Amino acid sequence: MTDDPLRSGSRAPDAAAARLAALLGQCALGNQAAFAELYRATAPKLFGVAVRILRREDWAEDVLQECYVSVWSHAADYAVAKIAPLTWMVSIVRNRCLDWLRRPHLESGGEEYDIVAESWAAEAPGPMEQLLAAADAGALARCFAHLDSKQRQSIALAFFHGLSHSELAAHLKEPLGTVKTWVRRGLERLRNCLSAETA
């Protein structure tokens, strides 16, 4: 996917992605200097991703530490991932964050929800707006813009803030079933649009 906005952050997206891929290759061979460079190049973005989902910097630090240790020891796996290097790393971070949120004592409390509502409201501009505004975000932003506003909002809240279906329903003050449908239809449309764009 040449339109991958994770790779278009810089003026030479492919060069940046190639650099990260090369660094991962070196990490697979035990090169600590390459790992340090990889960290410098990616940590602010990954920390941003983790803080948004976990909403606590201390948790985000713990998760990121585990993620980087995992990237270091599994860098060779990147090769078979067949996706952009930053996408691969973001997936690792998001999955760890979501696993973290699955811990039982975190899932029960309604307390989290308030923080979410606040942080979402206080956000200016939110990641969704940034995504839509990014001139170089390419196919993904175009497809995202094609979604209904409810679908877009649900997907953005789930993706950027790690909201579950029930948290979405509470936040959007809609029945659970309705929210689930928005998410599912939104994902379907996004997928169809992206495959049409990249076909």
Partner 1 sequence: MARYADPRLREWLAAEYVLGTLRGRARARFQSLLKYDAALRGVVAEWESCLTPMAAATAEIEPPARLWRRIAARIGAQPPRSRWWTSLALWRTLAATGLTAVLALGVYVGNLPRPEPPIAMVAVMSDDKARPAMVVSWPQLKDARDPHIRVHIVQDHPTMAPDTSWQLWVLPGGKAAPIPLAVVGIEPIQHIRLERSLRKNVWQAWGIALSVEPKGGSPTGAPTGPVIFKGQCVRVM
| CB neighbourhood size of 24 (10 A) | 24
Answer for which of 41, 55, 59, 83 binds partner 1 (CB under 8 A) is 83
Nearer to partner 1, 22 or 117 (CB): 22
Q: Does 48 bind partner 1 (CB under 8 A)?
A: yes
Beta carbons of 143 and 190 less than 8 angstroms apart: yes
CB of 102 to partner 1, least distance (A): 6
Going through the chain in order, the beta strands assigned E by DSSP cover none
Nearer to partner 1, 82 or 173 (CB): 82
Answer for which of 16, 20, 53, 147 binds partner 1 (CB under 8 A) is 53
Q: Does 96 bind partner 1 (CB under 8 A)?
A: no
Handedness of CA 43, 32, 20, 15 (dihedral sign): positive
Nearer to partner 1, 36 or 114 (CB): 36
Q: Does 38 bind partner 1 (CB under 8 A)?
A: no
Helix, strand, coil percent values for the chain (each to nearest 5): 80, 0, 20
